Amino acid sequence: MSASTLQTRARRKRLWRHGLGGISLAALCLVGGLWAADRLFPPDMKRANQQALLMQDMRGELLDGRVSPDGAWRFETRREAVDPRYLALLLQVEDRRFWIHPGVDPLSLLRAGFQLATRGHIVSGGSTLAMQTARLLTPHRHSLRGKVFDMLRGAQLEWRYGRRGVLDLYLTLAPESRNIEGIRSASLLWFGHEPLHLSAEESALMIVMARHPQSLRPDRHPLAARAQVARLLAAQPAEGWLRRGSMPYVLHSGHLVHEAPGPLTWQWRKGMRGVARTSIDRRLQASLAGILHDTPPPSGGTWAALVARRDGSIAAWQGNAGNGCSGCAADMITAWRSPGSALKPAIYGMAFQLGLLAPDTVIQDRASHFGGYAPRNYDRIFHGTTTVRTALQRSYNLPAVRALDMIGAGYFAGTLDAAGIALKLPPNTSPSLALALGGVGITPLDLGRLYVALANEGISRPLSLDWPVEPAPGTRLIGARASRQILSILGGSPLPKGRVETVEGRVAFKTGTSYGQRDAWAAGLRGDWAVVVWAGRPDGTAVPGITGLGTSAPVLMHVFDILPESGALPTEMPPAQAMLSPALQKLSEKRGPQIVQPVNNGRVECFAEDGHVTPLGLVASGGVEPYRWLVNGVPLDTPTGITPSWTPDGPGFAHIALVDATGAGSAVDIRVQ
């Protein structure tokens, strides 16, 4: 072989290597440029990420929903959740070469261009599913510029997400008339079922609606929509599932009846999106709404009620009864309200748990002074010697305050908080004995959790809308025995007027009336059910005459009447009083007399502007009667059987002393105004 030939071959090899290097460099630059463009100009995924919320009840029936922030019924939809036969029809009609082209189909574009040139109008479009998805992500007018944009974005979508990702995006965004977008939302709202099983007509309707969302809207243009469905199916092969004669679709309204706005708002604020199966029983929800709507509300007020199961799942939630009043549109289930006496079972339960009291411990219900706090009973009457059992059933205030004083208000509030039951104290205050009488805020939702804990032998778990129920770890609130003792006591609470109840249908319940008659409560347990009923004015103004027993308890019993019998409460009869230890048989009283009223270092207004003088009542407890009263060292002449009082001579300071029959005494200093 000659030298020239060898030189020629060597030169060719060098050129070939240089050519390959140039091609590789160009390809590398192209890939790098595409990568940089993809990162510099990413697709706008805002619409795809904005999801609606649709709530189903425990049976899968539509319950309530809220559109996405941009006003669409849109849920993330993946191809695995859609009938594969719909997918096959979609690709057959819209994009036959979907699985082989890179987002833009040159053959379809050439065909569409040829038809436009020869016929003068568009016969078939050249848009692939990727290009349609690009236009759905960023809607724009149909134009040549827009078509070029769709081609670039379509290729980018397949580059970034792959063909399966593009298909999922299309299934999420496809317009299905009105503000319904995506295959799942269309199937649920138009047909009432998930898209995993679709008929031929249902599949065809969703495909033609995506092409003409408004002109083929099936609730307004049913004949046109059915004609297009028939035409599409007739153009397909007659074999298989697309054969003629299959059952026509049954069209729902496409609109949603809002039956659970309270739970919906609660879920929405927690960040829930998509389609959520909840624990609510739609039929029970409707029955509860009927009871509240048909029961006359308190004057200027409304009702709210919550029904929960022992496992913590919420079965019904009515935040208001739809009454017309100031604030009546608010959901009161999550509102902070004063519970009145509804927290007393928890107070006594903790006292039982700590071994400080027992159900049959003898306790005094009489005027007492706790530092600067002098509580009274609702009926302004003190009942003397009683038992803890009777005191809780009759809702006496003084024994409950005494029990809270024994366990400590801070301990009580801290234990509830550790168990997930939140209390809202007035600003710049710490827990005090006023908690026993409702001097704190609590939501009906948390009060329901408290009573469900009593039904679960003292274990507190969050109330939830999740379905099916997933067992959640609990926090012990009180001991199992203390919880059973409380339920046994509450099972003997006085029934509302006119109510007769058998032992089998016994409801363990407690009522509460907040200070100033602003809130009326009733919370009860029976079997596997817990019910909380609230009544009052949402704006917090007083409603004269409302009480927990007279107002809310009858509604509570009515709700229990519609609940099925299930299970039994874990109650227990406590030992007889004679079997108790001496320390628990009778609560020892503080020795020596105490001045309950007036309060030491207090200010008392006795003089009106018109010169009228109001006598100052004097109240004492403890010690041994009869009492002797002295004001500024001068004994008061108080006839036997008459409540002592003192009429001051004029404004100023006064020293009031008390002496009992044994000579023991106490004193307070006040300022009279």
Which spans in 41-83 are helix H?
A: 46-49
Please state whether beta strands 73-74 and 62-66 pair in parallel, antiparallel, or not at all (unpaired): unpaired
Catalytic residue among 68, 127, 341, 395: 341
The answer to whether 555 touches 533, Cβ cutoff 8 Å, is: yes
Nearest to 505 by CA among 562, 583, 449: 562
The answer to whether 261 touches 53, Cβ cutoff 8 Å, is: no
The answer to whether 154 touches 134, Cβ cutoff 8 Å, is: yes
Sign of CA dihedral 453, 576, 568, 303: negative
Task: Tell me the two tokens of residue 481.
Answer: 């025995």
Neighbours of 231 (CB within 10 A): 11
239 is catalytic: no
The answer to whether 157 touches 134, Cβ cutoff 8 Å, is: yes
How far is CA 585 from its chain centroid? Answer: 43
d(CA 408, CA 241): 73
Neighbours of 215 (CB within 10 A): 14
Task: Tell me the two tokens of residue 484.
Answer: 């059973």
Place of tokens 């109650």: 571
Catalytic residue among 94, 158, 201, 259: 94
Strands, DSSP E only, in 158-203?
180-181
Please state whether beta strands 384-387 and 362-365 pair in parallel, antiparallel, or not at all (unpaired): antiparallel
- Specify burial of residue 141 (Cβ count, 10 A radius: 0-12, 13-18, 19+): exposed
The greatest distance separating any two alpha carbons of the chain, rounded to the nearest whole angstrom, comes to 148
259 is catalytic: no
Please state whether beta strands 274-277 and 53-56 pair in parallel, antiparallel, or not at all (unpaired): parallel
Residue 22, Ramachandran bin (φ over 0: left; ψ between -120 and 50: alpha; else beta) = alpha
Nearest to 405 by CA among 363, 436, 446: 436
HEC letters along 209-244:
HHHCCCCCCCCCCHHHHHHHHHHHHHCCCCCHHHCC
Helix axes 144-173, 3-40, angle to 10 degrees: 70
Q: Please confirm whether the linkage preceding 626 is cis (ω < 30° from 0).
A: yes
Helix axes 282-294, 553-562, angle to 10 degrees: 150
CA distances from 591 to 33, 85, 369, 532, 660 (A): 92, 86, 13, 41, 11
Neighbours of 597 (CB within 10 A): 18
DSSP state of 550: I
Residue 105, Ramachandran bin (φ over 0: left; ψ between -120 and 50: alpha; else beta) = beta
How far is CA 246 from its chain centroid? Answer: 43
The answer to whether 280 touches 315, Cβ cutoff 8 Å, is: yes
d(CA 245, CA 560): 50
Q: What is the dihedral of CA 275, 277, 278, 280, to 10 degrees?
A: 110
- Give me the active site residues, please: 94, 341
